Structure 1
Amino acid sequence: MWYKIGKDIIVRSENAAKPETQSSAYLKKLISRLEPIHSSFDFGCGKLRYERAIAKTTGELALVDSEVQLSRGQMIRGRSTTIRDYVGKSNHVHALTVGGEDGVVLSLDSTSIKAHRCASGGKGEHNQAIGRSRGGRTTKIHALSDPLCRPVVLHLTPGQDADIAAAPDVLALAPPMSVLLADKGYDGDKLRGEIIRRGAKPVIPNKSNRVVIHRFNKRAYKGRNVIERCFGRLKDFRRIATRYDKLARNFLAAVHLAALVAYWLN
């Protein structure tokens, strides 16, 4: 969450929430020393209790966040309310809505599916997402899953296609997110830049031959297991574990139906 002053200037905060070891007087003193900068920094809704001190330092303020966050119920100054309702009664702050949903963590990966011999005969095997790899004739399912293992994007490519080559097409279908988890197969500067341009933070381990090492959050990366569990659940369906469809559109439709049955209808 950010505090915006005027048109372009946003106030920077040193910490997002009040630690137990810091007094309110200390934080008010810290806020009074903040300097306006021309970029976005997480401010934290915990600072709402200090909006008067911030206003004395900076003047007009705008609370910038998604509608989901602004309308979420929480305790502010000892009473249950939403940020939008609280800000509506304040003379120091007003709320601005931006698109997207904060805190959405998505995981990206792919899995190979063996194509049965009866899947032959589609017009142009490559166009039907069937390729030849070490496992024989295979199809790759690329997916993005949320923290509940639910696939939010499904995409097909021939089995020999690299994971990172299909990533831009998957991201083009992706909903707004704050963090993207992926394995080493997606470690590329171009892809990292694309993720950042979409407003998300890439959590991808560095390859052993990488020259410029990027920071890597091991704790956040542990959450990537959800995409593996997602594929495991989808492969419980025999028609997904082995491809029998000649046409890619038919097989993709079957994958979507399996996802609906596995995660939304039950």
Structure 2
Amino acid sequence: MEISKSHFKIIEHLLPVQKGNVKIPDIQIINAILYVAEHGCKWRGLPERFGKWYSIYMRANRWAKKGVLDHVFVILQGADVVNIQVDTISLDSTAVKVHPDGAGAFKKNGPQSIGKSRAGWTTKIHMVAADDKTAVITFALSPGQSRDAPEGRSLLETLENCGWEGAKVLMDKAYEGDETRQLVLDLGMIPVFPPKVNRINPWKYDRKIYKKRNEVERLFRRLKGFRRIFSRFNKLDAVFRFFINFSLIADRMISVDRP
């Protein structure tokens, strides 16, 4: 998988201008990062056709620390959300196993959303996506043992005054609590999720609309096609977010050709 020149033009103007004697163009850097993200190899394992691995690593590291791809993600996905009619929003999370290379040295050099759950050392990716299959609105990281509902409410709170009153918010039973349901109502949206079996007064929900929640599940499936997302090799959240943002951007650009 490689980003074509036509795809690269979508983000070229959003990347920082390189100073000095730059031998490796940005499109080559992008495709080198894509190779690492897709195959999960170490930077030293990059094929020679991409250029010196250390030069690629250093530029990618600078971009990660400066939040370059965070900015690109916000611009691209913000444009997507503006250009679509938001009728439904999906909130969900997925767990990512932490590779031994990503464990240890906690609390050093920056936040590390890594925690021990029943599956071992894991990180959770919490995501809000619009009903267009490529429009990720926002995402966050948390340690693997954290509960979904509080993290989900934090993401939903960022949607205040977004002008999406009346949109349906699709969630699974992990977000079933009264607090989450009330927050959605306070935002002017409609919660759509099944009540737990032990609810004294269970509510009815639109089962047909609820089936659309599989779109965010398919999005997670595509993201985990990138080995750097399927397993977390990075200690710092900033670097792991870099690969998540990059994978989302690559998925966004490649989706232009997806039927």
TM over 0.5: yes
CA apart distance, 1:122: 4.1
Does residue 164 of structure 1 match 2:149?
yes
**Which structure is larger by alpha-carbon Rg, 1 or 2?**
1
Instruction: Name which of 170, 190, 212 aligns with 1:223.
Output: 212
Contact 1:119 1:245 in 2 (8 A): yes
One-letter amino acid matched to 2:214? N
Instruction: Name which of 78, 101, 111 aligns with 1:118.
Output: 101
1:36-88 deviations in Å (ceiling 9; x for gaps): xxxxxxxxxxxxxxxxxxxxxxxxxxxxxxxxxxxxxxxxxxxxxxxxxxxxx
- CA RMSD between the two structures: 2.3
Does residue 252 of structure 1 match 2:241?
yes
Q: 1:12-51 to 2 correspondence within 5 Å?
A: none
Q: 1:60-79 to 2 correspondence within 5 Å?
A: none
1:122-162 deviations in Å (ceiling 9; x for gaps): 43299411000111000000011122322221110001111
Structure 2: tracts of 5 or more residues without a match: 1-81
Give the stretch that moved more between structures: 225-234 or 162-171.
162-171
Contact 1:122 1:128 in 2 (8 A): no
Q: Percent identity?
A: 34
1:204 — aligned with what?
A: 193
Contact 1:122 1:247 in 2 (8 A): no
CA apart distance, 1:110: 0.4
Residue aligned with 1:152, SS:
strand
Question: What CA distance in whole angstroms lies between the structure 2 residues aligned with 1:139 and 1:113?
Answer: 5
Residue aligned with 1:123, SS:
coil
Question: What CA distance in whole angstroms lies between the structure 2 residues aligned with 1:234 and 1:218?
Answer: 26
Residue aligned with 2:127, SS:
strand
1:107 — aligned with what?
A: 90
TM-score normalised by L of structure 2: 0.60
2:4 — aligned with what?
A: none
Instruction: Name which of 124, 139, 148 aligns with 2:123.
Output: 139
CA apart distance, 1:197: 0.8
Residue aligned with 1:190, SS:
helix
CA apart distance, 1:168: 1.4
CA apart distance, 1:173: 2.9
Q: Which has the higher strand share?
A: 1
Aligned residue pairs: how many?
Answer: 168
One-letter amino acid matched to 1:255? I
Contact 2:86 2:130 in 1 (8 A): no
Does residue 179 of structure 1 match 2:179?
no
Question: What CA distance in whole angstroms lies between the structure 2 residues aligned with 1:250 and 1:212?
Answer: 45
Instruction: Name which of 113, 126, 145 aligns with 1:129.
Output: 113
1:184-237 deviations in Å (ceiling 9; x for gaps): 111011111100111110001000111222221101101110010010000010
Question: What CA distance in whole angstroms lies between the structure 1 residues aligned with 2:123 and 2:243?
Answer: 14
One-letter amino acid matched to 1:203? V
Does residue 155 of structure 1 match 2:144?
no
Contact 2:89 2:131 in 1 (8 A): yes
1:238 — aligned with what?
A: 227
Residue aligned with 1:211, SS:
coil
